[in-house]
Amino acid sequence: MAKQKKKGQAGQAKNYITRTQAVRKLQISLPDFRKLCIVKGIYPREPRSIKKANKSATHSTTFYYTKDIQYLLHEPLLAKFREQKAVQKKIAKSLGRNELQDAVRQEKNGMPRIKLDHLVRERYPTFIDALRDLDDALSLLFLFASLPSSETVPAKVVAKCQKLCHEFEHYLITTNSLKKSFLSIKGIYYQATIQGQDIMWLVPYRFVQRVTQDVDYRIMGTFVEFYCTLLGFVNYKLYTSIGLVYPPRFDTASDDRGAELAAFTLEGRNVADNAIENGNATRQLTNGHAQNQNSANVQATIDKIVQAGDQEASEQLQEELAEDVEENEHIDKFEVAAPEGDELPQAEASSNETGALFSDFTFFISREAPRHPIEFLLRAFGCKRIGWDRVLGEGAFTFDEADPRITHQVVDKPVPAVSNGEQTTSKPGYIVAGRIYVQPQWIWDCVNEASLLRTDVYAPGATLPPHLSPWMKPVRGQYDPRATLEEQQLEGEEDEELSGEEAQALLEDAEPDVSDEEVDGMDEAAAGMTIDVADGSDEEEEENVEATFGGFDAEPDAESADEEDDHQAELAAEAAGKSLSAKKSQKSSKDKRKEERLAKQKREDEEIERQKMMMSNKKRKLYEKMQHGNKIKDADAEKLRSKRRKIEQKQKR
């Protein structure tokens, strides 16, 4: 006879444990249990059958894996929590006796310090694992770095978060690891590539933050404490991988005066690396690897030639290697071989090219523009000379707005007035001759496009182009703000819109202004013409026809009418001193592009219909269901195109 299983001792009832049972088993308080689960990475679980897991009880509760709670029994932090509880009892007893000095001494010297170093190594066995889990850590630390200090968020925590975030930004600046950035409603998104891992985080805007009571800052503080330890480990590994000392030298006084990134000084681990700071180093550090270095086999061949004394051959070999490097630096562009061929994805620019995007320019940030994100982007992409107004803090290349070395100025205000010829110095609100003025969006768009864009489009006061997410690729059929309406609107879409009130308005504009008396006279004339024609004989009718007929040349056809209109337009343009050749060529090119697009769309539709004929009934029905969602997206895209078309028509008027 098989052994009978008792109810509640097997299956889900044994695999899951409630939170109350877990707290009693660990013999700690509920706040300590929450903190322990957060730092250990243990989260609540939802069983498939709550009734079975809770032993026939149906009330809502929180469940954990029994194995996870059993795993927590061996955690060294439990002993630390118990020691802290014992010291807190002593402090309470001292306060009850009015022994304040004894209570302060016990809190300062007797309270055990909790370290989470072993937990970082336990949860992330390899460095790549830590990089993969760095997204949430950076977002939370940058959030706390922008919060004001309060009782729930101490000033020490805010200062520590700011320091760790600036150290991480310095690594990105040194290695040119930053790739993309996007300005959104929530904040500024950044993406960096470190050792092949794409890391994305969100940085809030520097507005006045209001600390509300809706958020449990004790739980958030536990996450911040663990993430600070994690980012400290990551920063140490990243700095040492490129030969820099960690932590970098930090000037507290300069940071208090608003230097931020300039308050840190990077130092090499030996004398050779110290030359990086002084500008004597010739190698460039990019993403932890030395650039412009030969491979091991090539270097060995060069050494053999040098040792043999053949200096000329060595120089020739070096020249060949340099030519190969230059050829490899150019990006290959894949062109479509046939008109109907597939479009291959183009190769992206290398980190060396994008890292030196702003290296030849000197920027000046106006006081109304956000200084820190602009400075971080410019330094991450090669700019070494950045100035700003003195009120924004220390660390600028120059505080003088009239410095002649400034090539670009970032402004976020209306068009400044042009300075007079008598004025020699620049003042706020005046344009300096020979300087390029751009809005902040130009920097973000250049970074995302990995190239320098036109600056006149981003001039102060100009209507900026749409700022789209660099991680969203345009999909066929959806609305693309960067493309023109002619490139994406469907056939007959513009004509279908002319209905209802718009069509009635167009008809009213087209009708001539005729009075009621003139209408009556026209009706009488028409009636008289009909009477004459009805009473006349056949001979009179033939004579009238011959008299009114003026030959085939009397009534011009449509082509001759168009030619006559073009001739009249040319005469009018010639009289005005203008030329219509450019407009004609532009119009013909637009019509040609439209015909090519419509022909391509027609071929694709025919190909889809041909493939649908080859499908089975089951696959055809599934395809039609999929097309239902696409039709909804197409309708939304058509609405956006219609709105844009109306805006453009108003602008033309």
Overall domain count for the chain: 4
Residue 193 confidence (pLDDT) above 90: yes
DSSP 170-226: HHHHHHT-EEEEEE-SS-EEEEEEETTEEEEEEE---S-----SSS-HHHHHHHHHH
Residues 163, 181: one domain? Answer: yes
What confidence score (pLDDT) does residue 194 get?
Answer: 95
Residues 453, 479: one domain? Answer: no
In sequence order, the β-bridge partners of residue 31 are none
Residue in 356, 380, 378 with CA at minimum distance from that of residue 365: 378
β-bridge pairing 436-438 and 408-410: parallel
Residue in 415, 412, 418, 407 with CA at minimum distance from that of residue 383: 407
The C-alpha atoms of residue 597 and residue 607 are separated, in whole angstroms, by 15
Least-confidence region, from 4-8, 53-57, 139-143, 343-347: 343-347
What confidence score (pLDDT) does residue 406 get?
Answer: 94
The C-alpha atoms of residue 88 and residue 202 are separated, in whole angstroms, by 38
What confidence score (pLDDT) does residue 224 get?
Answer: 95
AA identity, residue 256:
D
Higher pLDDT, 467 or 648: 467
Residues 41, 143: one domain? Answer: no
Residues 235, 380: one domain? Answer: no
* Predicted TM-score (pTM) of this structure: 0.69
Whether residue 291 lies inside any domain: the answer is no
Q: Which residue range forms the structural domain that includes residue 17?
A: 12-75
Task: Label residue 635 by pLDDT band (50, 70, 90).
Answer: confident
Least-confidence region, from 76-90, 409-423, 438-452, 598-612: 409-423
What confidence score (pLDDT) does residue 313 get?
Answer: 45
Task: Label residue 534 by pLDDT band (50, 70, 90).
Answer: very low
Please identify, among 213, 242, 265, the residue that sits at the C-terminal boundary of a domain: 265
Which two three-digit tokens encode residue 634? 């197409």
What confidence score (pLDDT) does residue 569 get?
Answer: 65
Token pair 């990551």 is at which residue? Answer: 234
pLDDT, tens digit (0-9, with 9 covering 90-100), for 120-148: 999 999 999 999 999 999 999 999 999 99
Containing 290, the helix (H) or strand (E) segment is: strand 289-290
Whether residue 100 lies inside any domain: the answer is no
Residue 188 confidence (pLDDT) above 90: yes
Residue 517 confidence (pLDDT) above 90: no
What percent of the chain is predicted at pLDDT more than 90?
A: 39
What confidence score (pLDDT) does residue 511 get?
Answer: 44
Residues 127, 66: one domain? Answer: no
Least-confidence region, from 105-109, 141-145, 229-233, 500-504: 500-504
Higher pLDDT, 14 or 194: 194
Residues 425, 478: one domain? Answer: no
What confidence score (pLDDT) does residue 7 get?
Answer: 66
133, 231 contact by CB (below 8 A): no
What confidence score (pLDDT) does residue 187 get?
Answer: 94
AA identity, residue 613:
M
Whether residue 150 lies inside any domain: the answer is yes
Residue 642 confidence (pLDDT) above 80: yes
Whether residue 448 lies inside any domain: the answer is yes
Residues 127, 65: one domain? Answer: no
Task: Label residue 582 by pLDDT band (50, 70, 90).
Answer: low
Residue 486 confidence (pLDDT) above 90: no
pLDDT (mean) for 333-348? 54
Whether residue 127 lies inside any domain: the answer is yes
Higher pLDDT, 464 or 543: 464
pLDDT, tens digit (0-9, with 9 covering 90-100), for 437-475: 999 999 999 999 999 999 999 999 888 988 989 998 777
What confidence score (pLDDT) does residue 348 get?
Answer: 58
Residue 590 confidence (pLDDT) above 80: no
Least-confidence region, from 48-57, 167-176, 369-378, 406-415: 48-57
Whether residue 293 lies inside any domain: the answer is no
Residue 353 confidence (pLDDT) above 80: no
Whether residue 146 lies inside any domain: the answer is yes
Residue 634 confidence (pLDDT) above 60: yes
DSSP 98-129: T-HHHHHHIIIIISPPP--HHHHHHH-SSHHH
Residues 617, 484: one domain? Answer: yes
**Local structure of residue 579 (DSSP, 8 states):** -
> Residue length, the chain?
653
pLDDT, tens digit (0-9, with 9 covering 90-100), for 252-274: 999 999 899 999 999 887 633 44
Please identify, among 231, 248, 265, the residue that sits at the C-terminal boundary of a domain: 265
Residues 149, 210: one domain? Answer: yes
Residues 404, 481: one domain? Answer: no
Task: Label residue 580 by pLDDT band (50, 70, 90).
Answer: low
Higher pLDDT, 250 or 508: 250
What confidence score (pLDDT) does residue 346 get?
Answer: 54
In sequence order, the β-bridge partners of residue 192 are 178, 199
Whether residue 193 lies inside any domain: the answer is yes
Residues 455, 492: one domain? Answer: no
The C-alpha atoms of residue 485 and residue 403 are separated, in whole angstroms, by 44
In sequence order, the β-bridge partners of residue 190 are 181, 201
Residues 435, 371: one domain? Answer: yes
What confidence score (pLDDT) does residue 595 get?
Answer: 78
* Mean pLDDT, the chain, integer: 77
Least-confidence region, from 64-68, 328-332, 599-603: 328-332
Task: Label residue 320 by pLDDT band (50, 70, 90).
Answer: low
Higher pLDDT, 281 or 128: 128
The C-alpha atoms of residue 411 and residue 432 are separated, in whole angstroms, by 13
393, 406 contact by CB (below 8 A): no
Please identify, among 235, 265, 295, the residue that sits at the C-terminal boundary of a domain: 265
Which two three-digit tokens encode residue 648? 């453009």
What confidence score (pLDDT) does residue 554 get?
Answer: 44
What confidence score (pLDDT) does residue 356 get?
Answer: 86
Residue 93 confidence (pLDDT) above 80: yes
What confidence score (pLDDT) does residue 439 get?
Answer: 95
The C-alpha atoms of residue 431 and residue 367 are separated, in whole angstroms, by 15
